[in-house]
Amino acid sequence: MSRTRRDFKPEFKLQVARMVLDQGLSVSQVCKDMDLTESSVRQWVKQLRAEVQGLPGTGKPLTPEQQRIRQLEQENRQLKLDNELLKKASAFFARELK
């Protein structure tokens, strides 16, 4: 019997991962208590460990700090693209004026 795919908020994932890491509960116990799959919980725990070490981790960030970093990185990429476009446009118009 297959389960329907559920979507969890980062705050919930963080709470579950902290139950394993901070409270010392086993992954299987948390899964049983909260009706979750072990693979999901293990992934969340792995991701939280990475984020605590300052690494980006995989998937959507769990901690607010990593969420902010991801947002700033996206804004930075967009600003670089905008800057390149403006450089090309100014070069084009500079040639038109000559």
Over residues 4-47, the pLDDT tens digits come to 888 899 899 999 999 999 998 999 999 999 999 999 999 999 99
Decide if pLDDT at 2 tops 90.
Answer: no
Of residues 26, 69, 66, the one with CA closest to residue 50: 66
* Alpha carbon distance 7, 20 (integer Å): 20
CATH topology of domain 10-97: Arc Repressor Mutant, subunit A (1.10.10)
What pLDDT shows up at residue 1? 63
Predicted TM-score (pTM) of the model is 0.67
Longest dimension (CA), the chain: 74
3-state secondary structure of 54: coil
Domain residue spans of the chain: 10-97
The C-alpha R_g of the chain, in whole angstroms, comes to 21
pLDDT band with cut points at 50, 70 and 90 for residue 96 = confident
What pLDDT shows up at residue 44? 93
pLDDT band with cut points at 50, 70 and 90 for residue 57 = low
